[in-house]
Amino acid sequence: MARLCTLLFLLALATACRAQTLGFSLADGRSRVRIPIEINSNLVVVPLVLNNQLPLKFILDTGVRTTILTEKTFSDILNLSYSRRYTISGPGGEKLVDAYVTNNVSLDLPGVRGAGHAMLVLEQDYLELRNYLGTDVHGILGYELFSRFIVQIDYEKKELMLMLPERFRPRKRFRQLPIAVQDTKPYVTATVQMTDTTRVTTKLLVDSGASHGLMLDPQSNPALIPPQKHINSIIGRGLGGIITGQIGRIKGINLGGYQIDDVIVSFPDPNSYIDSLKISRTVARNGSVGGELLSRFTIIFDFPREKFYLKSNSSIRKKFHYSLSGITVKAKGARLRKFEITDIRPGSSADIAGVQAGDSIVAVNGLPAGELDLNSINGYLNSRPGKRIVLDLERAGKKITKRFFLEDQI
């Protein structure tokens, strides 16, 4: 059994050696296709058919190289064969999950045919994507799609458009900026304004597979430190485990000429284990731009020419808030209509009110939880500072009620 770094190297080698058979193409001689998408927690979810048989949903992620299927049950249903088995380990070498490589699979999207792909298959759904997004999500699709097409994501219309590079012409209403595609991932240069007097030119991964708005690594530059007013929190989760750090608000960021103010930023702890699939040992960077920022635009990725295009949408002036209740909720059950509180931020309004991890949500402001989805519940718990929340909970078989007001602690 091998470590994850070896696994990623072999996947890259397999992809390079099989380049003649791997590839996406548009159906019926088209030059472009439009695909309806879902947006969940600022992530783009696309419909996909695996091996001409199994309809699934995958996250579209610029931060990963190889397609990932998050649960081996689905590949076993199709009787796929596996060429290798590996162990993905966390900090200290403890086993997190076993993973397998399967080759020559087909990945079809509406109007798009994809044949001859390698895919990483997780033994178990370690990422729990469907539980934390509250919708059926089965995997992650990355570089293979972006390397073949011009990819336009319209977060407002919930539409993905794929275009042949030779037929693409830049749009006048979009602002153009260069990206560097290194180790299969896109990087952009942006000016970050930490304080009134401190501006830093940063190299950022453009990460469509991250929910956060902006993440900055304090170890990459001594000027990129959390502001004095910040909170400690869980800031993410990847194949390497939970990522902890500080959350604070900075003056702003200038991205492609767009000035975006009062941005919430995640600062990972030095010893926090960053997602192994999104780390490159060969590319230095200062952080990443994620979905909370990207969703304020229609964006176009042109990997072949290393260009990135932006056009703001109606969310461009929307205020940034972070977890106003301090509650993290996971959806459970076959229908994802049971809701368990998995984490409470210390000192948050919900924590002070006595809400505890392990509580099950029965109702929110009088609305039965079984009639809601996770997106709706998170909407209530993060709607606006000052909003009154009444949670009916079940704890150890007893019904209790907790009341509190949403609070912006940053």
- Asked whether residue 319 is domain-assigned, the answer is no
Per cent of the chain over pLDDT 70 is 90
How high is the pLDDT of residue 7? 41
Per-residue pLDDT, averaged over 55-70, amounts to 95
Q: Which residue matches tokens 């909170």?
A: 231
Q: Are residues 241 and 98 in the same domain?
A: no
Q: Are residues 34 and 158 in the same domain?
A: yes
Closest CA to 390 of 400, 376, 371: 400
- Asked whether residue 229 is domain-assigned, the answer is yes
How high is the pLDDT of residue 242? 78
Per the structure, the complete domain to which residue 240 belongs is given by 170-312
* 3 pLDDT higher than 60: no
How high is the pLDDT of residue 222? 94
How high is the pLDDT of residue 73? 94
How high is the pLDDT of residue 120? 95
How high is the pLDDT of residue 89? 73
How high is the pLDDT of residue 226? 95
- In tens, the pLDDT along 180-225 reads 999 999 999 999 999 999 999 999 999 999 999 999 999 999 999 9
Per-residue pLDDT, averaged over 303-312, amounts to 97
Q: Residues with Cβ < 8 Å from 164, sequence gap 6 or more?
A: 26, 31, 32, 149, 150
In total, how many domains does the chain have? 3
* 349 pLDDT higher than 70: yes
CATH number at residue 230: 2.40.70.10
Q: Are residues 374 and 389 in the same domain?
A: yes
Domain boundary among 137, 163, 189: 163
How high is the pLDDT of residue 5? 38
CATH number at residue 365: 2.30.42.10
Domain boundary among 280, 312, 344: 312
Q: Are residues 186 and 76 in the same domain?
A: no
* 274 pLDDT higher than 60: no
Q: Are residues 117 and 175 in the same domain?
A: no
Among 87-96, 152-161, 205-214, 370-379, the minimum mean pLDDT is found in 87-96
Grouping H, G, I as helix, E, B as strand and the rest as coil, residue 291 is helix
- Asked whether residue 318 is domain-assigned, the answer is no
The answer to whether 175 and 310 have CB atoms below 8 angstroms apart is yes
* 279 pLDDT higher than 90: no
How high is the pLDDT of residue 23? 84
3-state secondary structure the chain: CCCHHHHHHHHHHHHHHCCCCCEEEEHHHCCEEEEECEEECCEEEEEEEECCCEEEEEEECCCCCCEEECCHHHHHHCCCCCCEEEEEECHHHCEEEEEEEEEEECEEECCEEEECEEEEEECCCCCCHHHHHCCCCCEEECHHHHHHCEEEEECCCCEEEEECHHHCCCCCCCEEEEEEEECCEEEEEEEEECCCCCEEEEEEEECCCCCCCEEECHHHCCCCCCCCCEEEEEEEEECCEEEEEEEEEEEEEEECCEEEEEEEEEEECCCCCCCHHHCCCCCCCCEEECHHHHCCEEEEEECCCCEEEEEECCCCCCCCCCCCCCEEEEEECCCCCEEEEEEECCCCHHHHHCCCCCCEEEEECCEEHHHCCHHHHHHHHCCCCCCEEEEEEEECCEEEEEEEECCCCC
Report the half-sphere exposure of 167 (CA within 13 A, side-chain side).
12
